[in-house]
Structures are given as C-alpha cells and as structure tokens.
Amino acid sequence: MIKTATVGLLLNMLMNPVIPALAEAGKTPATTESGTTTNATATKATNAVKIPSVDTLGLKLKSAVLIEPTTGEVLLSLNADLPLPPASMTKMMTEYLVADAVKNGQLSWDQKVTIQENAAKQIGSRIFLAEGDEHTVEELYIAMAVGSANDATVALAELVSGSELEFVKLMNQTAQKMGMKTAHFINSTGLDRADMPKKFQPAEDRETVMSAMDAAILAKYIVTEHPDFTRFTTIQSYKFRERDKAPMINYNWMLEANKNIANFKAYAYPGLDGLKTGHTSSAGNCFTGTAVRDGMRLISVVMGANSEAHRFTETKKVLDYGFNNFEIKQVVAPKTVIAGNETVPVLKGKNKEVSVVTDEAVSFIVPKGTTSPQIKTTVEINDPATLVAPIAQSAKVGKVTYSYQVEGMSDVQQKTVNLITVEEAEKAGWFKLFLRAIGEFFGDLFTGIKNLF
C-alpha cells in the first residue's frame, strides 16, 4: 500500500512535472539567459565558385557599391562608405517619403498641389512652375522621377511637411532609421547650398552628402517597401503640360525599354527599371541603378563618373559583375525538420513531445554554381517550462537562425525563421498524468538505487 507521504509527493509531481531531458546522447545544448535551448550545427560547402576580384573591372569612379536587397549582401564595394555629394540622387529620399505619405493615406496621387514661392524659384533641372500653379501629386512625382525637376520636388516636400526645412528634418530622421551612416541632407533636391533660393537656404553652412552605401540602402527601402516604383521610373518621356513643345526625357539611358531608341540603345540594359541619376559640378555624374534577372534584383550605385555616358558604362560593369557571378538559391525549404531537434518536450500533454518544423523557406545569395553552400544552423527552443499542453498546431515554440558567408567576403547573411508545431499537443487527463508521475517517481527511485551500487 502506498504511504500517505508518497502519495503527497506524487501529487506534487503531478502538479509540477519533471521537465524531460533535452540533451541528446553526446550532445549538450546550451541554455541562454532567457531559458531557451540552443544548438548550432554547420554543413560543408561543395562546388563553391571563386569570385573574381573587383579590381579586374577597372572602375574609374570615386565610389561604387552593389547589393542584393532581400539579403542585404554587399557584392561589390569601392570606397562605398565615403561621404560624397549625391546631387539629384538625393531625390530618392523625397520619392520614398512622398510614396510613404500616399501609402499611409496622408496624401493621394490625384490631390491638387498649389505651388509656393520656394518651388517657383528653383534653378537647375525644372519644369518652370510658377507660384500659384496647381498640379496633382502624381504629375509632380513624375516630373521629379523622370525629369529630376527641382521645382516639383520642393513642391512635394512642402506638401508633406509644410516647408522644405521641416521636410529636411524628416529626411535626416528617416536616414537614421534606415541605418544610413553618413547621409546628411540640407534640401529635398540635392542642389548645392549656394544654388538654393537665398531666402530658403538653411542657416547651417553644410552641404548634402551621402555615401554609395547609403544610397544603396535608400534604394533598398524603395524597391522593397514600394515595389510599384517602376510605375514612375520606367516612364521614358512625359509631357507635363499640353502646351509644352516637347516632353521631358528620362535621364536614365539604361532603361531596358530604350533598346529600341536610337540615341540610347547602346546603353539599354536587360532588366533595368530604375532608379535615379544625379549631376552637379561638385558631385560629377552619379547613378543609382536597379535591374532584375531570373528573379534576382540587384542595386548598384556609382558616384563621381566623369560624364553622363561614363556613369552608365561603369554601372554596366558593376551590374554584370553581380549577375554573372551570383544567384539567389533556396538553401532551406519550408516545413524543414531540423536534425537533432525533431521534437520539443510538452508538459502535461497526452504525449511527452510534439514534432516541429520550420515555418518558411530560407534563401541566400551564393556564387553561381554552388550546389551545397556551407550553412550554419543555430536552434533556440523556448523555455521548456512554457511548453505546457494544450499547444495549438503551428504554435511558435522556438526559432532557427541560418548563417552563410560567401568565401572572401566579410558580410554574413542571416535569416531567422520560427519552429512551429506540426500538430496540436493535447492536454492529458488527470489520471494519465497521475500514472505518469508514479512511473517517473519509481523510475527515478530505481535509477538512484542502482547508481549506489
């Protein structure tokens, strides 16, 4: 007959079950401060392809960079963190913020805009807006994106924030949020301070600067958060007013659609659909380009080219380097079972454990021809004390972080996905829990006695 004290102990075990051991034979998981359990493994690479040196391109630029936006992988870098005057590539931030304002309902594309003094007094690239003119947000946005119109850009900046000065504060705040390290804006256009209307020049005697890397980060936000950007950037020409003698022509000669245009077909690049040119005497010729091939989009930035044509021929070298040497590869399929972590323990469940899988696929950019990239896998299981039945199907019970580094490159690509339950973990009845507690009690008791001998 079971004594009263023993029954009390068993009931206590029933209410506070022993957490099952997680360590596999010969493998001890590490436990983090938050109570999660972590395992790390790595696969070996096969058929890794050697990437040619950037020096072989012979780039004649002040700076350049090439990135893949979904992974953030930097594929090419030449003085990429050097702050330089970006000229009209500055307008990418204005484009992003205006598109954001439309997306969140602050503005609408068909909204009328009344032109103010600051916009009307802009010089350089412009569409000759007069104070008091009215145009829609979309018309002004096209003028900014296609014709790089400074007056249209300022009009939109004033619409968003009330004044260009206030809009510039928003530009700089947004740059910090995006992780841009060198960017500092003094206006919405990219004009030098001396070329701004004197009345509207900032008090601080600084100029707009932005590194090639910062420009690429900004472009990444545009293409990922506003994928309809091509609705504007691929417009080859646009007649702003009916009375205008000629339409504005897109400064981007590399648009794929230009392959049939006599003046531009030598520069037209397959898959290229954006993004923004820039030129001032201090900046030279700059270009942020983006193109997509075989499902992979790349973003290139070149700064300090010596002519309009040169910025495009150098961009071709940079983009070719990316498309010829890299590809996006799915390295982990969705619903993958992680070796060594096929299940997680369940307290008070009909079963003591439940099967788990990853919830989504993982893709990395890899050298072309790589068949088995070397992937490091780190698994973190939620605190076992929180895994108490009932647990719903597809419940998040941990996470898996995959890491990959292209040989010879400093950046490590990482992607974290969730570990989810394959089926529901049902709660056991009290009698089953009671019997299980008895079994565990005597099992532990016999093991203890056995270890004495």
Give the tens place of pLDDT for each residue, 98-121: 999 999 999 999 999 999 999 999
8-state DSSP, 425: B
- Reported residue count of the chain is 453
Residue 410 has pLDDT above 90, yes or no: no
8-state DSSP, 89: G
Catalytic residues: 88, 91, 148
For 120-230, strand residue ranges (E) read 134-136
Compute how many other C-beta atoms are within 10 angstroms of the C-beta atom of residue 419. Answer: 22
Decide which of 224 and 29 is more confident.
224
Residue 10 has pLDDT above 90, yes or no: no
Band (146; pLDDT cuts 50, 70, 90)? very high
Band (38; pLDDT cuts 50, 70, 90)? low
Candidates 13, 148, 67, 153; CA nearest to 436 is 13
The values of phi and psi at residue 429, to 5°, are -75, 165
Segment 36-41 mean pLDDT = 59
In order, the DSSP letters of 330-364 are EEE-TTPPPTT-SEEE-BTBSSSEEEEEESS-EEE
Taking the C-alpha atoms of residue 345 and residue 379, their distance in angstroms, rounded to an integer, is 15
Taking the C-alpha atoms of residue 269 and residue 82, their distance in angstroms, rounded to an integer, is 27
Compute how many other C-beta atoms are within 10 angstroms of the C-beta atom of residue 196. Answer: 21
Give the tens place of pLDDT for each residue, 235-246: 999 999 999 999
Give the tens place of pLDDT for each residue, 416-441: 999 999 998 877 655 455 555 565 55
Task: Give 121's contacts (C-beta < 8 A, 6+ positions apart).
Answer: 197, 199, 200
Segment 236-261 mean pLDDT = 95
Taking the C-alpha atoms of residue 395 and residue 296, their distance in angstroms, rounded to an integer, is 32
| Residue 391 β-bridge partners | 425
Are the beta carbons of 126 and 149 closer than 8 angstroms?
yes
Taking the C-alpha atoms of residue 75 and residue 364, their distance in angstroms, rounded to an integer, is 12
Question: Does residue 202 have a cis bond before it (omega within 30 degrees)?
Answer: no
- Helix boundaries (H) for 186-345: 212-225, 230-233, 308-325
- Give the pLDDT confidence score for residue 348 in this predicted structure: 76
- Give the pLDDT confidence score for residue 11 in this predicted structure: 41
| Residue 78 β-bridge partners | 64
List % helix, strand, coil for the chain (3-state, nearest 5): 35, 25, 40
Give the tens place of pLDDT for each residue, 178-225: 999 999 999 999 999 999 999 999 998 999 999 999 999 999 999 999
Candidates 172, 169, 143; CA nearest to 248 is 143
Give the tens place of pLDDT for each residue, 158-181: 999 999 999 999 999 999 999 999
